[in-house]
Amino acid sequence: MRPLLILLFALTTSALKAQPQANYDETKVPKFSVPDPLTTFGGETITDSLQWEEKRKLEIYQFFEKQIYGKVPALLDEYSFKVIEQDNNALDGKAQRKQIAVGLKKNDRSLNFNILLYLPIGNENAPVFLGYNFHGNHTVTDDPNVIITDVWNENSKDLQITDNKATETSRGLRTNRWAIDKMLDNGYGLATVYYGEIDPDKNDFSDGLHSLFYDEGQTKPKTNEWGSIAAWAFGLSRAMDYLENDTNISNVIVFGHSRLGKAALWAGATDPRFAGVISNNSGCGGAALSKRKYGETIGDINNSFPHWFSESFKKYSNREETLPVDQHQLLALIAPRPLYVASAIEDEWADPLGEFISAQYASKVYELYGKKGITLTDTHEVDHPILGTMAYHMRSGKHDVLEYDWDQYITWAETFAK
């Protein structure tokens, strides 16, 4: 090749590879003001919980609903539950296992998903953690009787999933993220669902829950309607419809990691039946403040995952300063119910400090109810959890769910869930 051509070739390939560089430098965080949870869009000051609920909470909720996660377009026509499998002597006699098929119907179209439920033997009225898993219910346990999902699954080396299909090979490969024995030993149950059964996680709106609601000829949700996160949140509420009627369950704490932590937060904000909410490393579009533009930004997330949020959220890509809200107000929507925000110090992409500050700014609303929030003087010392009605920890290590995280969640849940 001639030198000019070589230069041109080098320039084009580097331009193709050029990704906007994420900012990991605290000194480059833009100056921004955090929208005050207690001042309405019209400038009115909120001084008590009644005013919060009647004025401010509603307008914040509607903003998140229309401009960020997107609205659920309509009610379902029908839903049904069927216990399709049960064993009262599961996991070496520690648990009762139930697998429940949930059927959702709209416009003569239907979607089914399975809840895997373990309840501790000896606690007839157990609190339950409800959380989605990433690759199928059979991945969270070695239990040979857990049904393998047959819907589309993201290929994964770690999970040994190829051809977008889960098989026996992936059974038990994610037990490390689910401290099931610990939950059971402490009198807690676990309910889990494979999130792909609600909406396969790909930029394709032809399948999953969205497609049930389409009018003739419609192929994707309307501009202000739901993306996948809102659909996953809706699915958690449908699981709750079953769980709240199971007489062996007292309370349900909704949990989620990462993208599923974003879904858990939105589920907590939209559905007051969840007694507590846990966001584990939820990052951008979850607990982290967007206006800091540290790690993943709105532009990054909308580019990489165009199907997660409502179409209307795209107008805030690279324009965070124009957003009249920020994610601390999503946290505030959960008040006064217990809320746990958990970060990991090496999880820079999720902006762990931004998650902490966000919890601090949400506190004002918890305080209106006389509840203990994360105060502005609290610190995010690594591996020193703060366990109040609002709880927080900055774990050492990476983006993941570890035994350490569950130790804290269970200790915290003891204060309100039993």
Least distance CB 199 / ligand GCU (angstroms): 14
Looking only at residues 338 through 367 of this chain, which bind ligand GCU when binding is defined by CB under 6 A? Answer: 349
Residues 93 and 216 sit within 8 Å (Cβ to Cβ):
no
Least distance CB 296 / ligand GCU (angstroms): 5
Terminal C-alpha separation, the chain:
73
The nearer residue to ligand GCU, 56 or 307, going by C-beta atoms, is: 307
Residues 360 and 380 sit within 8 Å (Cβ to Cβ):
no
Residue 233 touching ligand GCU (CB under 6 A): no
The nearer residue to ligand GCU, 191 or 350, going by C-beta atoms, is: 350
Residue 259 touching ligand GCU (CB under 6 A): yes
Candidate list 49, 170, 211, 258, residue with the active-site label: 258
Least distance CB 306 / ligand GCU (angstroms): 12
Q: Mind spelling out the 3-state secondary structure of 280-345?
A: ECCCCCCCCCHHHCCECCHHHHHHHCCCCCCHHHHHHCCCHHHCCCCHHHHHHCCCCCCEEEEEEC
Residue 154 burial (C-beta neighbours within 10 Å; 0-12, 13-18, 19+): middle
Selected binder of ligand GCU within 284, 331, 353, 387 (CB under 6 A): 284
Least distance CB 257 / ligand GCU (angstroms): 7
CA distance 120 to 187: 6
**Among 37-45, 118-126, 296-304, 373-381, the segment contacting ligand GCU (CB under 6 A):** 296-304
Where would I find the H helices in 186-258? 228-243
Spatial CB neighbours of 260, under 8 Å, sequence gap ≥ 6: 131, 132, 134, 195, 232
Residues 22 and 292 sit within 8 Å (Cβ to Cβ):
no
Candidate list 237, 250, 317, 399, residue with the active-site label: 399
Residue 337 touching ligand GCU (CB under 6 A): no
Amino acid sitting at position 364: K
Residue 135 designated active-site = no
Determine the size of the site formed for ligand GCU (CB under 6 A): 8
Residue 292 touching ligand GCU (CB under 6 A): no
* Neighbour-count burial for 263-283, b at 16+ CB within 10 Å, e otherwise: bbbbbbbbbeebbbbbbbbbb
Selected binder of ligand GCU within 296, 326, 347, 355 (CB under 6 A): 296
Least distance CB 248 / ligand GCU (angstroms): 31
The nearer residue to ligand GCU, 275 or 301, going by C-beta atoms, is: 301
Residue 399 designated active-site = yes
The nearer residue to ligand GCU, 211 or 282, going by C-beta atoms, is: 282
CA distance 307 to 44: 35
Residue 258 touching ligand GCU (CB under 6 A): yes
Least distance CB 134 / ligand GCU (angstroms): 8
Least distance CB 360 / ligand GCU (angstroms): 21
CA distance 268 to 54: 18
The nearer residue to ligand GCU, 20 or 122, going by C-beta atoms, is: 20
The nearer residue to ligand GCU, 68 or 301, going by C-beta atoms, is: 301
The token pair that represents 86 in the structure block: 């049960």
The token pair that represents 237 in the structure block: 């509420």
DSSP helix/strand/coil, 276: strand
The token pair that represents 47 in the structure block: 């001084």
Selected binder of ligand GCU within 283, 338, 352, 354 (CB under 6 A): 283
Catalytic annotation, residues? 258, 399
Judged by the rule CB under 6 A, the positions of this chain that interact with ligand GCU are 258-259, 283-284, 296, 301, 304, 349
